A = this chain, B = another copy of it.
């Protein structure tokens, strides 16, 4: 062996333990897994070694402050080991596994077997001398407080005055524990270091309410303001929402402005799309004068806090033709040979009023810096949640950098990815740092579609990085079901969104007022969409779903089971139109069972076939279920119970299981 080879191998040659299949991890450790403050992180790995020796292993955890802790790992079975730690601080945590062959433990186990099989005295003395070697070496590693004790112990084993007593000492649990503290790790193996992104608790569960500030005026026809939003807060908070999300609040472009109903030609009084950002009056760091001032914005932020709500704003990295960037930084846009700039497209949608940034520009560093500066500007004003418009049309590397930069200093900041695109792109965005992600929920309607999709989100590796956000409607999405399903469809889809996903939101007041008129029936654009015009909403309309929304949000607030996705379990029913699922806290102290009628028009009835173990119940156990939507209580027994849901009344049960 050459000296080079010796050098290369010497760090490996005697490290006999291999560490494989560490969970959780994403793409071989390329991305951090996601957790929230307070979570217990369960780590498992396969630890294998040659021979038949016993192993020792610790899970090492470094929290976001750099504090290091070690947790002994335990063998589960089939060479799989486990340990856990709690994450208490936001930010980036690190963990790794260290494992070694434990010669002392192996020797001690062998000695126990030999003693059982009647060891002769001569052999016993040799065995004890072997043990003494291990203990003496441990003494060398021990801190001063223990060193003397270990040396004394080594002496007993080396030259026993009473053989039986010495054997007992060697085999005692106390000796075992002490030796474990000073295990010989010279030839230990350490795994690669893996990362955990720990988000604030709000990341686990939230109920969002999206509204257009310019439609918030109580005076018909008048342009609403941020102050009008303040007046709307009791209404929104009263329904139990905890995040108020506003579409872009910046100056809106004049050139190529869209008219009502996405008309490529605007009338003089048309207000344009808030996503066509930038005019002579300013860009991404400015507020549309018609909405108010920065002071108004800060006042709204402060009032949201008073109501226990967070304010989310929109990050739409794109420009109208009038945006100041077009003149100050033409190199950030790709000009065509005739000097014009190609407008944005998100096929089949065309955004003639919007120019995308050219991320392949030679001046990408300036562009990235400026976009980061926009985020930092709004953070400086107090914003902590950003809904990011079309992140899938900007490079992955940019988002990974931007979110990493921001969260390094502000780990409490949340980013919601509004990407409705192919699944692997949505997952990539989630992996690289987006806290939350919009989903395909709006287009998952049947029992099998919902079940399959939720299983993918909550029981596959996707759960480690993708936090779903369920929206039954958005200003862009008025589904066919809502167009045609009537009141029941809105109620049913609300319950599904709010109970299947711990993070959900509605676009209101369109939602609670059951706005269902489409520009072209069967297509998803609203008629008279708020994206292009001011709407007047009568939020006090007697048929409003306001009270129902309030009740659903109350269920979520009062039941921590609904504030998590990891315990979601589906339960069979004998009807294709009745979907049943449960959620619970890990200790099963709080357990919720939801049953929804997916048929918006007909009463459906059937029998459940509950997976009782997931509900903390045993077969034949009698228990009570209380419907949190009606207050009715039923006595049930076992797995099979009768359900009947009339969509003309309430198309769902949200049962609290009372054991």
Contacts and interface: CB of A to CB of B under 8 A. Distances in A.
A656 B380 CA distance: 77
Contacts of A613: none
A336 to B, nearest CB: 6
Interface stretch (A218-226, A244-252, A423-431, A643-651): A423-431
Report, nearest first, the 8 A-B pairs whose CB atoms are least far apart: A28-B28, A129-B337, A79-B424, A12-B397, A48-B424, A16-B395, A1-B365, A51-B393
Q: How many copies does the complex hold?
A: 2
A422 B14 contact: no
Contacts of A1: 365, 368-369
A20 B345 CA distance: 26
Interface of A: 1, 6, 9, 12-16, 18, 20, 27-29, 46, 48-52, 78-79, 126, 129-130, 133, 187, 336-338, 340, 345-347, 359-360, 364-365, 368-369, 392-398, 401, 422-425, 428
Given A28-B28, A365-B1, A368-B13, A48 B337 contact: no
Nearest to A6: B365
A66 B98 CA distance: 38
Contacts of A392: 50-51
B395 A14 contact: yes
B424 A78 contact: yes
Contacts of A79: 422, 424-425
Given A78-B423, A347-B52, A394-B50, A14 B126 contact: no
B50 A393 contact: yes
Contacts of A15: 397
Contact of A422 (B28, B78, B133): B78
Contacts of A336: 126, 129-130
B13 A398 contact: yes
A369 B48 CA distance: 25
Contacts of A52: 345-347, 393
Contact of A337 (B14, B51, B130, B423): B130
Given A6-B365, A14-B359, A50 B395 contact: yes
A13 B50 contact: no
A396 B16 contact: yes
19 contacts: A1-B365, A1-B368, A9-B365, A9-B401, A13-B401, A14-B359, A14-B360, A14-B364, A15-B397, A18-B396, A20-B424, A48-B428, A49-B425, A51-B392, A52-B346, A52-B393, A79-B424, A126-B336, A126-B337
A48 B426 CA distance: 10
Contacts of A48: 396, 422, 424-425, 428
A20 B428 contact: yes
A503 to B, nearest CB: 24
Contacts of A401: 9, 13
A363 to B, nearest CB: 11
A27 B424 CA distance: 21
A359 to B, nearest CB: 7
A360 B12 CA distance: 11
Contacts of A397: 9, 12-16
A14 B359 CA distance: 7
A67 to B, nearest CB: 27
A50 B417 CA distance: 13
A13 B365 CA distance: 9
Contacts of A346: 52
Contact of A46 (B14, B29, B424): B424
A334 to B, nearest CB: 10
Contacts of A423: 78
Residue from A49, A79, A396 whose CB has the most chain B CB atoms within 10 Å? A396
Contacts of A424: 20, 46, 48, 78-79
A425 B50 contact: yes
A347 B338 CA distance: 82
Nearest to A126: B338
A356 to B, nearest CB: 9
A396 B49 CA distance: 7
A340 B123 CA distance: 11
Contact of A396 (B50, B359, B368): B50
Contact of A428 (B18, B347, B369): B18
A390 to B, nearest CB: 9
Contacts of A78: 422-424
Contact of A13 (B16, B46, B345, B364): B364
Residue from A9, A18, A392 whose CB has the most chain B CB atoms within 10 Å? A18
Contacts of A46: 424
A394 B347 CA distance: 60
A264 to B, nearest CB: 15
Contacts of A338: 126, 129
A52 B392 CA distance: 9
A394 B51 CA distance: 7
Residue from A337, A345, A365, A368 whose CB has the most chain B CB atoms within 10 Å? A337
A425 B50 CA distance: 7
A18 B422 CA distance: 14
Contacts of A394: 50
A130 B365 CA distance: 25
A470 to B, nearest CB: 22
A31 to B, nearest CB: 11
A317 to B, nearest CB: 12
B16 A27 contact: no
A29 B28 CA distance: 10
